[in-house]
């Protein structure tokens, strides 16, 4: 196991940005940059033992700053959407950036994906990297100084484990996730429609046409949202189902049967050609499955791969979108003295 570090460039204001390489006992390797805490590459074996990169990403810091559609990043302070960029807490209305049509997305104009994190190498099981960031009171419109720590560990049982910790000095809202785009076949050269997916959820949160949940928890039974059995992602993606039409594929939150709280299997992806399997375990109550609908060939990534529609998939473990405006959803409020603590594990097998 090892952790090494090299410079990845610097921000316009001169802040240096690093790229860390985590290698586990079996030779799996993750590269993570302090810019947005983004996973830049993740190398895992196929059924023949052949190692290859299974995530989408860019070659340079400049490209991440200019055009990354949240590749690999830590999304926050509130990952996913808040309707109209407004929420009320303790009787006070807060206004956030409307950076996704009428809505707030992934923390705003300068969310946790666009800041430079402080890094500390971590010893223990596998290869670890701790990233910390202090989000000041009022930053992007959110109340409270929020101190965040995200620890990435490439474990010796071949998992990328992500532990999230946060605390605040005033009541606030928090929802943190990782936004890696996976393609277990070829790292994004082709599409993910042949990948098979299982999501352990009987219900999902249908949305309006701007991807804000209506508040309903709808049964997946009899719909193209039913992934309770491993099913090819492309099998039903073009069905004439309003929820799929709204966003050109899958971009929804599933209500996990485990309901969150303790680490449980939430989803599994199997790529039949390479035999690669990824299990997603989480303590979170929800997962956003996004089928890379907005990739349109305008971004060329690592190794000259052109990322077209559906060339990557995200499984973003989270609390449900727009929870601050949905009293029936699990709460995303964090108060002083409380600890926000969640864990997500992406485990690779064949």
Residue count at the site for ligand GLA (CB under 6 A)? 11
Show contacts with ligand GLA in window 82-141 (CB under 6 A). 105
Q: Does 250 bind ligand GLA (CB under 6 A)?
A: no
Shortest distance in whole angstroms from residue 286 CB to ligand GLA = 12
Burial class (CB in 10 A: 0-12, 13-18, 19+), 222: exposed
Across 117-146, b (16+ Cβ under 10 Å) vs e yields: bebeebeeebbbbbbebebeeebbbbbbbb
Least distance in angstroms from the C-beta of 248 to ligand GLA:
10
- Range in contact with ligand GLA (rule: CB under 6 A) among 223-231, 254-262, 287-295, 296-304: 287-295
- Residue 79 CB, nearest distance to ligand GLA (Å)? 8
The DSSP string of 315-347 is: EEEESPTTGGG-TTSPP-EE-TT--EEEEEEEE
Q: Specify the residue, 43 or 55, whose C-beta has the smaller distance to ligand GLA.
A: 55
Q: Which of 22, 9, 120 is nearest to 58 (CA)?
A: 9
Least distance to ligand GLA, CB of residue 231, Å: 20
Non-local CB neighbours of 135 within 8 Å, separated by 6+ positions = 76, 77, 112, 142, 145, 146, 147, 148
Strands of the 203-205 sheet, one edge to the other: 218-219, 203-205, 251-255, 286-290, 314-318
251: contact with ligand GLA by CB under 6 A: yes
Judged by CB under 6 A, the residue of 61, 129, 314, 334 near ligand GLA is 314
Instruction: Let me know if 179 is a catalytic residue.
Output: yes
Contacting ligand GLA within 253-282 (CB under 6 A): none
Strand 127-135 and strand 146-154: the pairing is: antiparallel
What angle is formed at CA 190 by the lines to CA 192 and CA 271, rounded to 5 degrees?
Answer: 40
**β-pairing verdict for 340-349 and 277-282:** antiparallel
CB atoms within 10 A of CB 241: 13
Among 104, 106, 179, 281, the active-site one is 179
The distance of closest approach from Cβ of residue 184 to ligand GLA in the complex, given in angstroms and rounded to an integer, is 18
Q: State the residue for tokens 């010796």.
A: 156
Query: Any contact of residue 294 with ligand GLA (CB under 6 A)?
Result: yes
Shortest-Cβ-distance residue relative to ligand GLA: 290
Quick note: the x/- pattern for ligand GLA over 190-219, rule CB under 6 A, is: ---------------------x--------
Give me the least distance between CB of 56 and ligand GLA, in Å please.
11
**Given 70, 152, 250, 320, the residue binding ligand GLA (CB under 6 A):** 70
Helices vs strands, H then E, count in the chain:
2, 29
The 153-192 site mask, x for binding ligand GLA (CB under 6 A), equals ----------------------------------------
316 annotated active-site:
yes
**Rounded distance between C-alpha atoms, residue 143 and residue 258, angstroms:** 31
Q: Does residue 69 touch ligand GLA according to CB under 6 A? A: yes
Contacting range for ligand GLA; rule: CB under 6 A; set: 42-50, 58-66, 286-294, 330-338: 286-294
Q: What is the dihedral of CA 173, 178, 181, 184, to 10 degrees?
A: -140
d(CA 147, CA 159): 26
How many Cα atoms within 13 Å fall on the side-chain side of residue 130? 10
Among 32-40, 43-51, 273-281, 288-296, which window interacts with ligand GLA (CB under 6 A)?
288-296
8-state DSSP, 78: B
Q: C-alpha angle 34/186/269, rounded to 5°?
A: 85
Among residues 139, 140, 284, 316, which one is catalytic? 316
Instruction: State the nearest-atom distance from the C-beta of 254 to ligand GLA, in Å.
Output: 13
Of residues 57 and 69, the one with the C-beta less far from ligand GLA: 69
> Which residues form the catalytic set?
179, 316
Q: Which positions touch ligand GLA (CB under 6 A)?
A: 69-70, 80, 105, 211, 251, 288, 290, 294, 314, 316
């Amino acid at each position: 196991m090892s952790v090494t570090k090299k410079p990845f460039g610097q921000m316009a204001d001169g802040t240096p940005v690093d790229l860390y390489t985590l290698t586990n006992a079996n030779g799996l390797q993750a590269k993570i940059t302090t810019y947005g805490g983004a996973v830049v590459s993740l190398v895992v074996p196929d059924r023949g033992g052949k190692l290859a990169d299974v995530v989408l990403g860019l070659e340079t810091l400049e490209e991440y700053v200019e055009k990354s559609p949240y590749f690999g990043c830590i999304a926050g302070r509130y990952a996913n959407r808040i309707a109209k960029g407004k929420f009320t807490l303790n009787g006070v209305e807060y206004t956030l950036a409307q950076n996704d049509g009428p809505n707030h997305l992934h923390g705003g104009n300068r969310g946790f994906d666009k800041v430079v994190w402080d890094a500390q190498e971590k010893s223990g099981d596998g290869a670890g990297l701790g990233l910390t960031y202090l989000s000041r009171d009022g930053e992007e419109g959110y109340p409270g100084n929020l101190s965040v720590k995200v620890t990435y560990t490439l474990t010796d049982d071949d998992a990328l484990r992500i532990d999230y910790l946060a605390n605040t000095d005033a009541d606030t809202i928090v929802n943190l996730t990782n936004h890696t785009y996976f393609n277990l076949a070829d790292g994004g050269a082709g599409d993910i429609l042949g990948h098979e997916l299982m999501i352990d959820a009987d219900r999902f949160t249908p949305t309006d046409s701007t991807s804000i949940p209506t508040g309903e928890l709808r049964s997946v039974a009899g719909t193209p949202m039913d992934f309770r059995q491993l099913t090819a992602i492309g099998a039903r993606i073009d069905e004439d189902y309003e929820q799929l039409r709204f966003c050109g594929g899958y971009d929804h939150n599933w209500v996990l049967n485990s309901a969150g709280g303790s680490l449980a299997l939430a989803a599994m992806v199997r790529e039949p050609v390479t035999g690669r399997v990824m299990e997603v375990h989480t303590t979170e109550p929800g997962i956003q499955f996004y089928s890379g609908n907005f990739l349109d060939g305008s971004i060329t990534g690592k190794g000259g791969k052109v990322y077209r529609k559906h060339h990557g998939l995200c499984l973003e473990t989270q609390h449900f979108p727009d929870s601050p405006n949905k009293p029936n959803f699990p709460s995303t409020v964090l108060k002083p003295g409380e600890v926000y603590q969640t864990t997500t594990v992406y485990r690779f097998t064949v």
